[in-house]
Structure 1
Amino acid sequence: MKNTILCVVLLTLPLVRCTPQPPKDFSLTQLQSDFDLYRKALEEAHPGLYRYHSKTQFDSIFNKTRKSLSGVNTLTDFYERLTPINTFIGCGHTRTLLPQGWNKVAKAVEKHLPFEFRVLDGKAILYKSHVNDNDFAPGTQLISIEQPFEQLAARMLPVFSSDGYVTSSRWRDLERNFSTFLQLLVKEEGPYHAVLLKPDGKRIEKEISLISSDAIAKSSAQPDLEFEILNVPSTAKITVRSFSGNISDKNGTGFSAFLKDSFQKLQNEKIQNLIIDVRGNGGGRDDYGSLLFSYLTNEAYSYYSYLEVNKPEFTFLEYTNQSESFVRSLMNSITEKNGRYFLNENQHSCLSPQTPSKPTFNGNVYVLIDGRSFSATAEFCAVTRFHERAVFIGEETSGGYEGNNSGGSILLTLPESKIRLAIPTYKYVSAVDIEKYPKGRGILPHHEIIPTVNGLANGKDEVMDYVLTLIK
């Protein structure tokens, strides 16, 4: 089972107060030692290291990065040298993380800008304010905050990874984590000097203070699962915001029971058009994606082609959260074939043939996706698209069409800097037509709908508006 992917910042938690703070400066020898371990761990354990780039390409980027360390001495500088390698892998489940318990991170995650923005054509457009301030009206552009937004984005984007060559998810991650990296990489304490461009063309200079992240999270909370019959002829909508194991609707109904009840309602009400909204769904349990698809088909189907691991001979385990028992368990669950190592079918419920669920929905299906539809969500989308069972609308998913690398994560802590590296163990390959699909892409929508400045300014859900016009 894969864990739901979290934003980069949250992966620096939980915070351990007794964790020693890393030194402010490092010697070249210390950095090279950490870097060599970082490289070794990736080369030994990462099952998809060469999925999108060759070993020759990786040798080149590893060697260039090591040479560049002579100009580095601080923790954040070293971190910014490592993250482009992380991004180059093309694996959204591989994360290079700042030290656990580092006070600067602990403080940064507690604070947030008093507004949300969406990046459109490289511009940060505000769409929601958490305070009563007309200067943050929807449609306002954030021109700069301490530095021009374009410069900040160029510096922060390498921090965020995605599957394959997908770029949409990195922008979505930047939007979600901008406040934290503003504090970590630019200026630790506010207020922050910002320049804003209002929708009427008025330019404003303003000092901005951060607000509590907890208050924002509580005010934005929504149920994981929702079912509604829309005010459109014979049309219903199922919203799945997560595939995590403990998800429920507003009444506390769990995922399996929720699906059974929802599809029964579709049959009882003779619904012909079903909208499935998985925008913002970062994934979770593998079998939940398959279970959702099982209500959309009348035939048995394959969900995964195979799961593969590297040969479990890891020489760096003393610096990780795993032990030799982890390796023994892995060895007992795999079979070697021609020098490659595959997970046994009985080790994962989605490796065996999958059966349809009743009542089957045979009507029209429309799936809404975006740059935060990831991991198990992208797997559901890939299989659904491969079987031509739905029309996809919105933005390319952050999760790859052909599969991902995830599960059984090994968390490495570099001994000198305390920077951490989360390495997934399994290479997932979805049961889809990989050879006929653009390499390294997410699930591409049949109808690409990107929010507009006007839509954001007026609080419109342009993706939902579009699908309703298709149905009508």
Structure 2
Amino acid sequence: MKSKTLLQLVFFMIQFLCVPIVGAQNAYNPMELKEDFQLFRTALEEAHPGIYRYETKSSMDGSFEAIEKQLHQPLNQQEFYKILNPVLAKIGCGHTKLIPSEDNGFMYYYNTDTLFPLKLFLYKNKAYVRYSYDTDNKLEPGTEITSINGIDMEEIIQGLLNNLFSDGHNQTFKYYELNRYFNALFSNFYLDEGKSHHEFNITYKHHGRKGSMALPSVSYQKVLEHDAAEQNSTPYQLEFKNAKTALMTIRTFWPDGEKYNFEAFLKESFAEINDKNIENLILDLRGNEGGKDAFGSLLLSYLVNVDFRYYDKLVVATNEKFSFVDHAQLPEGYDELRALITQAEDGEFRWEHNGNLRVQTPQEHPFKGQIYVLIDGACFSVTSEFCAVANHLERVSFIGEETGGGYYGNNSGAFAIVTLPNSKMKLGIPLMAYYTAVKDYEFTDRGIMPDHPIRNTIKEVLTPGDEVLDWTLGRINKK
């Protein structure tokens, strides 16, 4: 059994491992930095099953060597983090993470008392105001921000994208994270810890007029209060749009047996859908970052009427004991699990103990009507796996934007959490490479492409309603 979600990894790294809070930072001497870097590189090369999935070994070696050349003078943790992180992002694995601290929530690592005070919508190297965390700020929603502290917005966006993680060369998941965590990311990579950042100087333009102003910073707590109001806590629901069309929304594949039961939800929902003779099913997976892999194959079993394969193979880096075990938190029973790893004829090390490697059978009474799946850049991990296999079986139509997870799979499953001995940063390494049972897809390093692309602009973001859903309902009505 395996659960695959960024939330799981981050919760484990932050809550259970008690990372020291980042306050006033000490500087580490070059010897300490090189010791941490060597462990960082060794752990990735020994344990990461997808380190060369999208980048060649020579390319990664060149990046590692470039890091080592920068470690010739003392650096504090934030400075060291900014050197390591972009090389880690280069691997093209959205489940790999470097966590410097537990100062606040995920992504909020440095300068959290003085955050940028605007919630932005970022798209195609431009940034627009959605709202302000400071009620005294009078900037209108839709105003374009052209620079912050003298740095052009395009330069900021490209710099942050280079530090964000996604599968392969996908960009939609990076933009999803950028829109969600811009305030944290700007503080991590463009503000120096320990210096005063109580206001931000911006330039902007709106309705053809240009201007500039200084904005006071806000605290993490104020950002958290505003953003929490945007979250919908209901994980899945079913509604009927009319006598022929049902809308099923699944916001997560993360199990919550105490309050919600996913298996029961699917069983009851599809029984009702079939009883009502529904012809069109809209499956809304937008914002769903993943969860338990068995839930993905279970959902698909309600949508097909033939046997199908879900995973092609699961690959691990080695069956040997890691040299860095003294610095790592490994899965429970790690040594016993290693003994179950087999080596294939081609030399790959395989993990054969996953139910999704078996041929999957459909439900007794699956849905046979038209299926429209709404997707966006947040569709990741298990959600992308489901979408990839459904696409391969030619069972659904996709509407929205490219998924954040890779079409041919991802690296996830169990994790090794490696503590760098001097800087105390935590490196989260997924230990399994998952390969979906698909083939002949044009984009080998990208996500699932929509059949009908619809990408929100700032106009749609600020306008009440749901353009993607409305477009889908309109298409169904025309048919």
Q: TM-score, normalised by structure 2?
A: 0.88
Which stretch of the first structure deviates more once superposed, 92-101 or 213-222?
A: 213-222
* Equivalent-residue separation in structure 2 for 1:235 and 1:403 (angstroms): 31
What is residue 365 of structure 1 aligned with on the other side?
371
* Equivalent-residue separation in structure 1 for 2:128 and 2:34 (angstroms): 41
Does the alignment pair 1:300 with 2:310?
A: no
1:350 partner SS? helix
CA-CA distance at 1:57 after TM superposition: 1.6
Q: Aligned in 2, Cα 1:201/1:463: closer, same or farther, shift over 3 Å?
A: farther
Does the alignment pair 1:288 with 2:291?
A: no
Instruction: Please say if residues 285 and 375 of structure 2, whose CA atoms lie closer than 8 Å, have aligned partners that are also in contact.
Output: yes
Alignment of 1:7-86 (within 5 A): 13-14=14-15, 16=18, 23-70=25-72, 73-86=75-88
Q: Aligned in 2, Cα 1:20/1:437: closer, same or farther, shift over 3 Å?
A: closer
What is residue 178 of structure 1 aligned with on the other side?
182
What is residue 334 of structure 1 aligned with on the other side?
341
What is residue 353 of structure 1 aligned with on the other side?
359
What is residue 431 of structure 1 aligned with on the other side?
437
Alignment of 1:57-136 (within 5 A): 57-70=59-72, 73-100=75-102, 115-128=118-131, 135-136=138-139
* Equivalent-residue separation in structure 2 for 1:72 and 1:445 (angstroms): 48
Instruction: Please say if residues 47 and 309 of structure 1, whose CA atoms lie closer than 8 Å, have aligned partners that are also in contact.
Output: yes
* Equivalent-residue separation in structure 2 for 1:58 and 1:340 (angstroms): 20
Alignment of 1:164-313 (within 5 A): 164-187=168-191, 189-199=197-207, 201=209, 203=211, 205-210=213-218, 212-222=222-232, 223-231=234-242, 234-246=244-256, 252-313=259-320
Instruction: Please say if residues 120 and 182 of structure 2, whose CA atoms lie closer than 8 Å, have aligned partners that are also in contact.
Output: no
What is residue 412 of structure 1 aligned with on the other side?
418
Which stretch of the first structure deviates more once superposed, 313-322 or 153-162?
A: 153-162
Q: Aligned in 2, Cα 1:264/1:127: closer, same or farther, shift over 3 Å?
A: farther
CA-CA distance at 1:198 after TM superposition: 3.3
Does the alignment pair 1:398 with 2:404?
A: yes
Which stretch of the first structure deviates more once superposed, 443-452 or 126-135?
A: 126-135
Residue deviations 1:236-267 (CA, integer Å, cap 9, x gap):
1111111111179xxx4411111112112211
Residue deviations 1:325-361 (CA, integer Å, cap 9, x gap):
64313223321223321112xx222111111124311
Which of these residues, 451, 473, 476, is aligned with residue 471 of structure 1?
A: 476
Q: Aligned in 2, Cα 1:19/1:208: closer, same or farther, shift over 3 Å?
A: closer
Q: Aligned in 2, Cα 1:381/1:436: closer, same or farther, shift over 3 Å?
A: closer
Residue deviations 1:262-293 (CA, integer Å, cap 9, x gap):
11221122111111111111101001111111
1:70 partner SS? coil
Instruction: Please say if residues 142 and 458 of structure 2, whose CA atoms lie closer than 8 Å, have aligned partners that are also in contact.
Output: yes
2:365 partner SS? coil
What is residue 153 of structure 1 aligned with on the other side?
157
* Equivalent-residue separation in structure 1 for 2:370 and 2:208 (angstroms): 42
Which letter maps to 1:148? Answer: D
CA-CA distance at 1:445 after TM superposition: 0.8
Q: Aligned in 2, Cα 1:110/1:283: closer, same or farther, shift over 3 Å?
A: farther
CA-CA distance at 1:22 after TM superposition: 8.3
Q: Aligned in 2, Cα 1:247/1:369: closer, same or farther, shift over 3 Å?
A: farther
Which letter maps to 2:161? Answer: L
* Equivalent-residue separation in structure 2 for 1:16 and 1:436 (angstroms): 43
Which segments of 5 or more consecutive residues in structure 2 lack a partner in the other structure? Answer: none
Q: Aligned in 2, Cα 1:210/1:237: closer, same or farther, shift over 3 Å?
A: same
CA-CA distance at 1:31 after TM superposition: 1.3
1:138 partner SS? coil
CA-CA distance at 1:82 after TM superposition: 1.0
1:236 partner SS? strand
Which letter maps to 1:34? Answer: D
Which letter maps to 2:279? Answer: Q
What is residue 140 of structure 1 aligned with on the other side?
143
* Equivalent-residue separation in structure 2 for 1:163 and 1:381 (angstroms): 15
Instruction: Please say if residues 9 and 415 of structure 2, whose CA atoms lie closer than 8 Å, have aligned partners that are also in contact.
Output: no
Which stretch of the first structure deviates more once superposed, 51-60 or 400-409?
A: 51-60
Q: How many residues align?
A: 464
Which letter maps to 1:322? Answer: L
Which stretch of the first structure deviates more once superposed, 271-280 or 91-100?
A: 91-100
CA-CA distance at 1:67 after TM superposition: 1.4
What is residue 326 of structure 2 aligned with on the other side?
318
Percent identity, aligned pairs only? Answer: 35
Which stretch of the first structure deviates more once superposed, 121-130 or 313-322?
A: 121-130
1:307 partner SS? strand
RMSD across aligned positions (CA): 2.9
CA-CA distance at 1:413 after TM superposition: 1.0
Instruction: Please say if residues 110 and 213 of structure 1, whose CA atoms lie closer than 8 Å, have aligned partners that are also in contact.
Output: no
What is residue 443 of structure 1 aligned with on the other side?
448
CA-CA distance at 1:100 after TM superposition: 4.4
CA-CA distance at 1:294 after TM superposition: 0.8
1:48 partner SS? coil
Q: Aligned in 2, Cα 1:353/1:20: closer, same or farther, shift over 3 Å?
A: same
Instruction: Please say if residues 117 and 183 of structure 2, whose CA atoms lie closer than 8 Å, have aligned partners that are also in contact.
Output: no
* Equivalent-residue separation in structure 2 for 1:109 and 1:243 (angstroms): 31
Which letter maps to 1:443? Answer: I
1:409 partner SS? strand
Does the alignment pair 1:461 with 2:472?
A: no
* Equivalent-residue separation in structure 1 for 2:68 and 2:136 (angstroms): 47
2:296 partner SS? helix
